[in-house]
Amino acid sequence: MRRTLPALAMLLVMLVPSGYYQAGLLVYAGATAADPACGHHAPYNDPSGFTPHLWGTDLFEADATNLSTEATPDGFDAYAMSAWANVSIPVADEPITLAGWMIEVDTSSNASWVVLVHGIRSCKANHEVLLPAGMLVNAGVNVLLIDMRDHWESTLEDGQVSAGQKEWRDVVAAWSWLQDNRGADPQHIGLFGASMGAGTAAIAFAQEPEIQSVFLDSPFSSMDQIIEEELAFRGYPVFLKDAALFAGRVKGQDIVEHEPLAAATSIGERHMTVVHGLDDQRIRIHHGEAMCDEAKAHAADPSQVTCWFAASTTTFTSVNDGQVDESHVTLMLTHTSEYEATLLAWAAAL
């Protein structure tokens, strides 16, 4: 017994850290898994025609409630873009190439541009970036929609999403590409991001002080908080957050290295617009409120910051999941006219 107990104790000492790491690795791999096929959007949408597909369902065909059909009686036909160019964008010092759709309607030297950034497990074919792009193009603003790394037509790096920790470099690459290849003035290039794309655009805005303006739809402000909330949303035990962070660091990715909220605290004389649905269950409203409050507190002039929060939910019967109440990134669907006005007011300052 005297020989056995120390051996058992040593075995436990060895197994507990290993089990902790393995549990964290399982959570990390599941929570950060990419969906490169973009199967919920890519088969249905491109700039010439797109509909809101959520939960594998066309919301127009599903007769969803609370859609702003008075503003879009013919669906999104009014926002279709008939011509676009496929572009390839290298990321500096990395073996990454981004796929993009460019719509250039103003070739003047002082033309305004917007880089649009999609959310997690999504792509440039999502209506969440195509609809704002159509609104901007109709107003004479040039747009560039990109697939971030590990999404659809861009380079598949490792099949994992870092919630902006790596992807912010993709956004800066697109911003730089417009200057190098289209002669765009950096003073006239803005960023638009939705959901994880908003968090990613915010990190890029914080990391690159020459980016002058950002429009954030349903952003997350705190990486630490959003990890807990995302784990709960995906059904993982929240207490495993630290184990997942540990596993990520062992794999070489610190997913709390950059805080999106730094965009607000470093705003200076730049511009920011934040929009967020009050009923959002995926990224809670406190994230948008924190981003707004900190931006106003740190801006040289509070008028540089615009915030719009409103109740927004659309209900529909999905193909596979029955009735769904969707409230994440839905303001553009339920308040289309107000959304367009807010977006174009932001773009007018570019």
Asked if residue 230 belongs to a domain, the reply is no
Q: pLDDT tens digit string along 214-271?
A: 999 999 999 888 888 877 877 777 777 777 676 667 766 677 789 999 999 999 999 9
Asked if residue 336 belongs to a domain, the reply is yes
Q: How far apart are CA 213 and CA 2, in angstroms?
A: 69
User: Is 267 found in the same domain as 120?
Assistant: yes
With a cut of 70, say whether residue 178 has pLDDT above it.
yes
User: Is 292 found in the same domain as 144?
Assistant: yes
The answer to whether 334 and 314 are in contact (CB under 8 A) is yes
User: Is 131 found in the same domain as 81?
Assistant: yes
With a cut of 60, say whether residue 11 has pLDDT above it.
no
Count of domains in the chain?
A: 2
Q: Please enumerate in sequence order all residues whose Cβ is within 8 A of that of 171, keeping only pairs 6 or more positions apart, or say none.
A: 115, 117, 146, 148, 191, 193, 200, 201, 204
The DSSP 8-state label assigned to residue 78 in this structure reads G
With a cut of 60, say whether residue 184 has pLDDT above it.
yes
Secondary structure element (H or E) that encloses residue 317, with its range: strand 314-318
User: Is 242 found in the same domain as 166?
Assistant: no
Q: pLDDT tens digit string along 17-61?
A: 666 667 666 766 666 778 899 999 999 999 999 999 999 899 999
Question: Which residues are paired to 109 by β-bridges?
Answer: none
The answer to whether 248 and 226 are in contact (CB under 8 A) is no
Please give the average per-residue pLDDT across 120-143, as a whole number. Answer: 97
Asked if residue 318 belongs to a domain, the reply is yes
User: Worst-scoring range by mean pLDDT, 5-19, 36-50, 154-168, 315-329?
Assistant: 5-19
Asked if residue 139 belongs to a domain, the reply is yes
User: Is 120 found in the same domain as 70?
Assistant: yes
Burial (CB < 10 A; 0-12, 13-18, 19+), residue 285, is middle
User: Is 298 found in the same domain as 200?
Assistant: yes
* Degrees to nearest 5, angle at CA 228 with 223 and 234: 115
Please give the average per-residue pLDDT across 177-186, as a whole number. Answer: 97
Question: Which residues are paired to 49 by β-bridges?
Answer: 46
User: Is 207 found in the same domain as 309?
Assistant: yes
Angle between helices 223-233 and 4-31 (to 10 degrees): 90
Please give the average per-residue pLDDT across 166-170, as a whole number. Answer: 97
Enter the pTM of the model. Answer: 0.91
User: Is 141 found in the same domain as 125?
Assistant: yes
User: Is 272 found in the same domain as 245?
Assistant: no
What is the three-state SS of 159-214? CECCCCCCCHHHHHHHHHHHHHHHCCCHHHEEEEEECHHHHHHHHHHHHCCCCCEE
Asked if residue 228 belongs to a domain, the reply is no
pLDDT at 48: 97
pLDDT at 248: 62
Q: How far apart are the first and last CA of the chain?
A: 77
Q: pLDDT tens digit string along 239-248?
A: 777 776 766 6
pLDDT at 5: 46
Residue ranges with strand state E in 28-139: 53-54, 57-58, 85-90, 97-103, 113-117
With a cut of 50, say whether residue 8 has pLDDT above it.
no
With a cut of 80, say whether residue 96 has pLDDT above it.
yes
Asked if residue 86 belongs to a domain, the reply is yes
pLDDT at 73: 81
Secondary structure element (H or E) that encloses residue 46, with its range: none
Asked if residue 229 belongs to a domain, the reply is no
User: Is 171 found in the same domain as 143?
Assistant: yes
User: Is 127 found in the same domain as 66?
Assistant: yes
With b meaning 16 or more CB within 10 Å and e meaning fewer, what string describes 137-170? beeebbbbbbbbbbbbbbbebeebbbbbbbbbbb
With a cut of 70, say whether residue 166 has pLDDT above it.
yes
Asked if residue 58 belongs to a domain, the reply is yes
Q: What percent of the chain has pLDDT over 90?
A: 73
Q: How far apart are CA 12 and CA 150, in angstroms?
A: 38
CATH of the domain at 191: 3.40.50.1820
Q: Would you state the torsion angle of the CA atoms of residues 339, 82, 191, 309, taken in this order, to the nearest 10 degrees?
A: 10
User: Is 338 found in the same domain as 244?
Assistant: no
SS3 (DSSP) at 281: coil
Residue 336's region, left for phi above 0, alpha for psi from -120 to 50, else beta, is alpha
SS3 (DSSP) at 298: helix
**CA distance to 31, 158, 228, 237, 302, per residue, from 234 (Å):** 7, 21, 10, 9, 37
Tell me the residue range of the domain where 23 lies.
Answer: 1-31+235-255
